[in-house]
Amino acid sequence: METKTSVALQLLLNAHRLKHTPRTGWVIRGVPNAESVADHSFGVAIIALLLTEMMADLQLDRVKVLTIALLHDLPESITTDIPSPVMDHFPEHVKHQVETTVLAALLDRLPGAEQWQAWWQEFEDDDTREARLVHDADRLDMLIQAYIYEQTTGNRWLDEFWSSSDESLFGFEVTAALYNELVMLRQASGC
């Protein structure tokens, strides 16, 4: 017989897989010991938390922001991390449809599941300030990680992450400013 705790434990076991699911975009670009999806989700959550404090005047829903940050890649515990070059060969919307189905299965019968799915959908649709903030945190975390890999491994195959980014991709002034500071730091280091 399935209990609330057994359903919760199953979610935790699935989420734990993210600790061992590498971010394949780094792997295919030759980064040794690439971060896991769980590492990335932590980075997104800590950036999102900081951003909510830096933009306190917007009165963002911190619980929603952190929930979205922690859930945004949860379906990858089943689907794995599919890199962008591979996604270019998928029919439009397939990834979203699959991830929606997977998330529903992962959250099935959990307290708060309906709200979590709704907030995850907001992130996918990018239609609230909280969702846009987490998208900014997601992009910023990726670029911070690219910078760190360039500095620590000497990997120079990560230029595409920078060439496909600019401050216009960020929805908030403070995240654009953080991005610009990171770019200046990168340039000062000779990259």
**Chain position carrying tokens 């649709």:** 125
CATH number for the domain spanning 70: value is: 1.10.3210.10
The model's pLDDT over 160-178, given as tens digits with 9 standing for 90+, comes to: 889 888 889 999 999 999 9
What pLDDT does 83 receive? 87
Q: What is the mean pLDDT of the chain?
A: 94
Is the confidence at residue 14, as pLDDT, over 70? Answer: yes
How many angstroms separate the CA atoms of 55 and 44, rounded?
A: 16
Tell me the CA end-to-end span of the chain in Å, nearest whole number.
Answer: 57
Contact indicator for 142, 23 with CB cutoff of 8 Å? no
Q: How many CA atoms lie within 13 A of 156 on its CB side?
A: 3
The tally of domains found in the chain comes to 1
Contact indicator for 161, 141 with CB cutoff of 8 Å? no
**Chain position carrying tokens 């040794």:** 32
The model's pLDDT over 71-115, given as tens digits with 9 standing for 90+, comes to: 999 999 999 999 888 888 989 899 999 999 999 999 999 989 999
Domain extent at residue 47: 4-188
The model's pLDDT over 109-123, given as tens digits with 9 standing for 90+, comes to: 998 999 999 999 999
Is the confidence at residue 47, as pLDDT, over 70? Answer: yes
